[in-house]
């Protein structure tokens, strides 16, 4: 659905173009889930989490409205540098998943809380190689861990949620070590904030931010932490 429009966007940089409205009846619903029984140990300094859950616009938007996140960048993980561009990733044959690199302050938000938000409101972890209207391995649910501790926390949390049967179907999220993260093209960054009224964003992604505000009020911030603002301060 997004590929033909974004081909034109990349060629013309005409970011105001719209999308045909999706044919689905409703956006994905959030699921109330328990916090992880196991979490990462307290740490100092900025930490990194990388997750994939369908179109990176919505996932980035959710974490840009999450307190304790100092930057959330849309990009690609799971493949090589040579294929880390939107047109090639969109073939579904690169090994890449549309992903979001989350830099966070562990004194303000834990890795476990990031995963709770990820599983609850950022995407549906029971959909295999798809998310909502988007299909293909590039839209898979995946957690790319940056340490053995992250791997243990993520795997334990998935087991916990499956055991509790909080979802109607088993979680299909894959957990694996992050080999590299490649930021996406500039026109993908801050997309939800820049295009809130675009039909795709309004239908599929704005509800995720609204669910974050409703279900994780203590972790929600009204003003998003944007990539453009981060670049301006560096």
Catalytically active residues are: 55
Contact 111, 146 (CB under 8 A): no
Question: Could you write out the DSSP letters of every residue in the chain?
Answer: -HHHHHHHHHHH--TT---PPP-SSSPPPP---PPPSS-PPP--S-EEEEEEES-HHHHHHHHHTBTTEEEEEEEEESS-GGG-SHHHHTTT-SS-EEEEEEEE-TTTS-HHHHHHHIIIII--TT-SSEETTEESGGG-EEEEESSHHHHHHHHHHHHHHHHHT-SSS----EEEE---EEEPPGGGTTHHHH-TTSHHIIIIIHHHHHHHHHH-GGGB-SS---HHHHHHH-
């Amino acid at each position: 659905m997004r590929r033909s429009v974004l081909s034109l966007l990349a060629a013309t940089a005409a970011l105001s173009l719209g999308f045909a409205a999706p044919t689905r009846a409703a956006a994905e619903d959030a699921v109330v889930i328990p916090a992880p029984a196991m979490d990462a140990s307290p740490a100092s300094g900025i930490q990194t989490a990388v997750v994939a859950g369908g179109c990176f616009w919505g996932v980035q938007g959710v974490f840009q409205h999450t307190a304790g996140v100092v930057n959330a960048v849309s990009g690609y993980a799971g493949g090589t540098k040579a294929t880390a561009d939107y047109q090639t990733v969109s073939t579904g044959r690169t090994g890449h998943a549309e992903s979001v690199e989350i830099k966070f302050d562990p004194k303000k938000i834990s890795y476990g809380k990031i995963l709770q938000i990820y599983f609850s409101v950022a995407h549906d972890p029971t959909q295999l190689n798809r998310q909502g209207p988007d299909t293909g391995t590039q839209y898979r649910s995946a957690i790319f861990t940056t340490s053995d501790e992250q791997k243990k926390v993520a795997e334990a949390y998935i087991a916990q949620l499956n055991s509790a049967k909080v979802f109607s179907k088993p979680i299909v999220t894959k957990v694996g070590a992050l080999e590299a993260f490649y930021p996406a093209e500039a026109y993908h960054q801050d997309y939800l904030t820049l295009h809130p009224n675009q039909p795709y964003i309004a239908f599929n992604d704005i509800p995720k931010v609204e669910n974050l505000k409703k279900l994780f009020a203590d972790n929600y911030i009204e003003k998003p932490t944007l990539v453009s603002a981060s670049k301006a301060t560096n």
